[in-house]
Structure 1
Amino acid sequence: MVHAPLIVLLGNDDDDDDHRVLFDEIRRIGGAARRVHPDELVIEVTAEGTRFHTGGAELRPDLLFGWVYEDYLVLGMNQLETARLAGIPVVNSAMTLWQGQSKYLNSALLHRAGIAHLPVLWGRDEETLVSWTARRGYPMVTKPMMSSRGRGMACLTDEAAVRRHVAALDPAPEQYYVQPFVPAGHRDTRVLCVNHRAVAAVTRTAPPGTWISNAPGGGRSLAELDRDVCELAERAAEAVGALFAGVDVARDERTGDLRVYEVNTCPTCTATFRELGLDPVPLTELAAFLVAAARDFDEARRHWRPSVTVRPGLTVRPDSRSSSTTI
C-alpha cells in the first residue's frame, strides 16, 4: 500500500474555504491533510530529537505548510523553523512568511533582485519623511507594515497630510511605510504562483469612491497570463522565497511600465474564483505540489510544474468533488 504523506497546514480558520478546497484535492490525489492551530501545537525538544504533539497524540508530518499571519505570525514562525531544523520539509518557511508580511523586507528583497518595484521610505522621523515626499512629489501612499485587504492604507497629498500621518502613529514600534502613488486606473493584477510558476491572474478594480484595488466590494475579472506579467511575478515570488504567492502587479498609465506592489505569502483565492464561476485552480495546483514535495521535497522543487493554467475564455467549473470535508 502506498504511503499517504501527511501534510500539516499550520494556521487558523480565518481562510477556511481555501483550506477546505486545498485539503479536498490533497486527499483526492493520495495525500493526507490536517490543519493544526498554532495554539494547539506542542513541541518537545530533547537531546534525542524533536517531536510534535496535538490533542494528546504525537503528530508525524511529512511536510508543514505555513499559513500564519498577523496575530499568529511570530508564534507560527518559531514552530515552522523548529520543524525545519528537525528535518521536516517546510513550504513557505518562517523567513518566507516574515518577508512576505513585512512590507519593508518585501521591498528590500524586490529591489535587491532587480524587480520593478517602487521607492519606499520607512521609519518614524517626521522631517525625513517631509523632505523625502516633497522631493519626490505627491500623491504618496502609506500602508501599515503588516496588513491585508487594503486595511489602513491612505493617500498623502501634501505636507500637512504627511505631518498628520506621523502624528497619528501609535507609540513605537509602529512606523510609516510610504511609496509613490501609481496611476494605474485604480486597478492591479494579482498573479498566483506555485513553486515560482504563474498559474492564474485576476485583475482587481477598486470599488466606487476609492482608489484601493484590493478593498472589499471591488470588481474582479480573470486576466490574461501575459508573458511580461508572468515573468515579473515569478521573479518576485522567487525573490521572496514564496513557493505559494500572490504577486500584485500594476501598469503605470503614464509610462506603460509594470510595477510590483508586493508579494503576499498567504493569498486567498476561493471566494474570487467562485464569484467568477471558476474552480480555484491555484489551490488544486498547490495541492499537487505539496503532495509531490511531501514525497520528495528537493525533486519537487526542481521539477514540479503546473499542469493547468487559467486564462480568459477557459471555463473551469467548480468540481463536485470539492464539497464537504472536515479540516
Structure 2
Amino acid sequence: MADTDTPLIVLLGNDDDDDDHRVLFDGIRRSGGQPRRVHPDELVTEATAEGTRFLVGGRDLAPDLMFGWVYEDYLILGMNQLETARLAGIPVVNSAMTLLRGQSKYLNSALLHRAKVPHLPVLWGRDENTLAVWTAERGYPMVTKPLMSSRGRGMHRLTDEASVRDHVRTLGPGPEQYYVQPYVPARHRDTRVLCVNHRAVAAVERVAPQGTWISNAPGNTRHRADLTLELRAIAEQAAEAMDALFAGVDIAQDEHTGELCVYEVNTCPTCTATFRELGAEPVPLAELASFLVAAARDFDGARRDWRPSATF
C-alpha cells in the first residue's frame, strides 16, 4: 500500500475517456492522492492460498483503492478484476455489480422500480406476440433500446404493430432481446444529474440535435440546469438504488403532466467536454477526486460522512 498520507488510487480502464481521467487525476493530486490508470489488459492477478497479488509490468501493484471505469468490450474482464480486488480487501468504488447495473438497461429498470424511483414501465424478452399485445394495450409511440449502448445508438421509435413486429424480427440470434418502454413527450430534451457518493453535484440539460428526438445523440446542445430540490431528490434516490458512488442520472420531464422520471443511470458518465462547452470547470470530477481520496483513507467513513463542497 502507498503512504496513507498519499494513498494510491488506481483507475481501472482504457483511454477512451482520457480527458475525464486527466482532469480527475489532477483533482486527486490536489486532494493529496496518487492516481494511476491501469488498463485491464495490463493487470496480472495471482491467486494462491496465501492471498491475492496484482502486478503490472512484473511489479507488484498495491492500491489503497480501485475505481472502476470499464464498459462495453472491457466490462466483463474489468468486473472480474474489480471483484477480485474487493475480495482481497481493497476498497472498490463503482464495484463490479454497480458497473453491470449501469451497463444493463434490464438491471437499471429492475433496480429503479424496486426502489420506487419514478421510472417507465418496460418489457424485455424475445416473444413477438407478447410485445405486440403489451404495446397495443399501453399505446404508441414506444421506444426500443439495445441492452447495452451509449449516446443514443440503436434507439428507435415504434409507432404501430407492424413496426413492433418488424423490430422483433431484426433481433440477432442468441441472447439478444428487445427492451421497450413508452415514449416520453419531453420536448426532445432531458437532464443529466451527476452524483458523487449518492449526492447530486451538477445538472445539465441536453437537447436533441435538429431532426432527431434523441437528447443524448452526438451533436446535441447542452445548457446549465438548475439543480432543484425535486431533481436532486430523484437523482440521489436513483444513484443509491444502483449503489453507484459516481453516477450520471438521466431524467425526463413529461411536458403534459410535468412529472419527472428516470430514463437510466450511467455508471461511467463523462463530463469534461460538456463543462468545457459551458465554459465551466468540471465540478463533478473535482468532487469525485475529493471523495476518492477520502475513501482511500477511510472507505466506510467517507461513505458515511463525505459531502460535496460545491455544486454546479
TM over 0.5: yes
Asked if residue 124 in structure 1 is aligned to residue 131 in structure 2, the reply is no
Which amino acid is the alignment partner of residue 207 of structure 1? P
* Shift in Å, 1:27: 1.0
Q: 2:195 aligns with which of 193, 205, 223?
A: 193
**Cα deviation per residue 1:77-136 (whole Å; 9 max; x = unaligned)?**
000000000000000000000111100100000000000000000001111111100110
Which amino acid is the alignment partner of residue 121 of structure 1? L
Residue aligned with 2:252, SS: strand
* Shift in Å, 1:2: 6.2
2:306 matched to which residue of 1? 304
In structure 2, what is the Cα distance between the partners aligned to 1:29 and 1:176?
A: 44
2:23 matched to which residue of 1? 21
Q: How does 1:99-110 map to 2 (within 5 A)?
A: 99-110=101-112
Q: In 1, are the aligned partners of 2:4 and 2:297 still within 8 Å (CA)?
A: no
* Shift in Å, 1:139: 0.2
Structure 1 runs, 4 residues or longer, greater than 3 Å off? none
Q: How does 1:69-108 map to 2 (within 5 A)?
A: 69-108=71-110
Identify unmatched segments of 5+ residues in structure 1.
311-327
1:206 matched to which residue of 2? 208
Q: How does 1:154-169 map to 2 (within 5 A)?
A: 154-169=156-171
**Cα deviation per residue 1:249-297 (whole Å; 9 max; x = unaligned)?**
0111111110000000000000000011000010010000000000000
In structure 1, what is the Cα distance between the partners aligned to 2:51 and 2:4?
A: 27
Count of paired positions: 310
* Shift in Å, 1:3: 2.8
Percent identity over the alignment is 78
Q: In 1, are the aligned partners of 2:40 and 2:77 still within 8 Å (CA)?
A: yes
Q: How does 1:143-154 map to 2 (within 5 A)?
A: 143-154=145-156
**Cα deviation per residue 1:145-182 (whole Å; 9 max; x = unaligned)?**
00001011010001111111111111121100000000
Q: 2:218 aligns with which of 216, 219, 231?
A: 216
1:261 matched to which residue of 2? 263
In structure 2, what is the Cα distance between the partners aligned to 1:2 and 1:86?
A: 18
- Give the aligned CA root-mean-square deviation in angstroms: 0.8
Which amino acid is the alignment partner of residue 48 of structure 1? E
Which amino acid is the alignment partner of residue 43 of structure 1? T
Alignment TM-score, normalising by the size of structure 2: 0.98
Asked if residue 285 in structure 1 is aligned to residue 291 in structure 2, the reply is no
- When residues 299 and 2 of structure 1 are mapped into structure 2, their CA distance, relative to the original with a 3 A threshold, is closer
Which amino acid is the alignment partner of residue 285 of structure 1? E
In structure 2, what is the Cα distance between the partners aligned to 1:80 and 1:258?
A: 34
Which amino acid is the alignment partner of residue 50 of structure 2? E
Which amino acid is the alignment partner of residue 3 of structure 1? D
- When residues 36 and 2 of structure 1 are mapped into structure 2, their CA distance, relative to the original with a 3 A threshold, is closer
In structure 2, what is the Cα distance between the partners aligned to 1:2 and 1:43?
A: 23
In structure 1, what is the Cα distance between the partners aligned to 2:97 and 2:90?
A: 15
**Cα deviation per residue 1:55-85 (whole Å; 9 max; x = unaligned)?**
1111000000000000000000000000000
In structure 1, what is the Cα distance between the partners aligned to 2:209 and 2:79?
A: 34
Residue aligned with 2:308, SS: coil
Q: How does 1:168-179 map to 2 (within 5 A)?
A: 168-179=170-181
